[in-house]
Chains A and B, each alone.
Chain A
Amino acid sequence: MIKKLSNIGDCGVVCDFGDDVNQKINAGVIKLFHYIKEEVSKGNIKGILNYTPSYNKLIINFDLNKIKSSQIIDFIKSINFSKLSFSKNKKEWIIPICYDFGIDLENISKTLKIDKKEIINIHLNTTFFIYMVGFIPGHPFMGDLDSKLFLERLKTPRVKLAPGSVGIVEKFCNIYPHESPGGWNIIGRTSTKLFDKKNESQPCLLSAGDTVKFKSISKKEFENLYNE
């Protein structure tokens, strides 16, 4: 299942599952992620500090004082992939969105030559699959958007975005949980808090493998929900 193993710096190993982004490849990534996480918590392998799944890759970071790249690669090669399992505790979320905060909607409409209302409709009618969570705490990467709305990232990322901003790039959609920099095209903002620091074992609302549908709300409803 892994197409290529390579180094990223002296304390990271990249497990590359192939170039395509689809739910089948992602399931392979998630399976390996679950396995490594479990092996680390059982103490079967020492020195691994982080294991970060993305669409088609798993990146393993380690403490160079305790283990080396070659040992990590030997460990990965020894895994019997046919025996790995993918636990599916899949949740279906409905998340409110206010499109009045879509600071890039006007530009997107011009670039794609599609009416703003039509862009919103397509977005509302999409059931998104969560491929991964990251970038910043609780931040989901979701797909797949209608090809009519495919866009590139902004050439220079914005220095500051409001928390809850919903952005799109190519077939993907995401939500920025905190005020942060970012390079995605912003179409709206949600009042839902995606990250709860009081819950130390599972601080993120959304997990890879869940689905999300958006529900349109007014600016007033947004303010009420946001201040709750």
Chain B
Amino acid sequence: MFDLLSFSDQGWGNALLKGLWMTLQISAGAFAVGLLIGLVVACAKLSAPRPIALLMRGYTTLFRAVPELLLILLLYYAGSMGLNALMLWLGFAQVNISGPLVAILVLGLVQGAYASEIFRAAILAIPHGQIEAARAFGLSGFGLFRRVTLPIMAPYALAGMSNLWINLIKDSALISVVGTNELLYTAKQAAGSTRQYLLFYLAAAALYYLVTLASNYLSGRLERRIRRWMPVVE
């Protein structure tokens, strides 16, 4: 039974590893998208004009209150339909958007909502004197953000972001529902064609578990490393 997991031609080992690689790629891409959205939205919530800040609050509430699976289905179908309509309107032929790209965008949008809350809290945790000092030095706008806000806020956001990364890996399994060949989808195919459901789902679960364990370990080390520079909180 276990030779079904082997790396030979008959085994599914290679396919599962390929699925894992796709899962990691999707997660990494979505993490980057989420990071970017999170930063922009956090700044907008803190300092944009009121209507925009309200809009951003609405986005965060909405994306954190609705099930991820529903959001994925909604954005996947409505998003690809909308994009095709746009292309048609622009006079291009219909595009077939690649599954992984849509997955990255959809998961990134969900991540962005959570990340923006983490960044907002981290930015608020910066002692205000630091910002004042930076302004006194003549920094403002993006320069202030890049050279002062971002580096001071990053350690505060680290723990939350590593949690988010682990959640993201787990959420990426939901993408299998719309048929992108990541780890769970591959396991589903393997299980369906060999009828060994328990074996393949347990194998895929073990792979996910390894990834989250490794992520936990690495983020713990990173946190300890960065905490050396953090002031001791009384």
A, B co-complexed:
no
Chain A positions near chain B (C-beta within 8 angstroms): none
Interfacial residues, chain B to chain A (CB-CB below 8 A): none
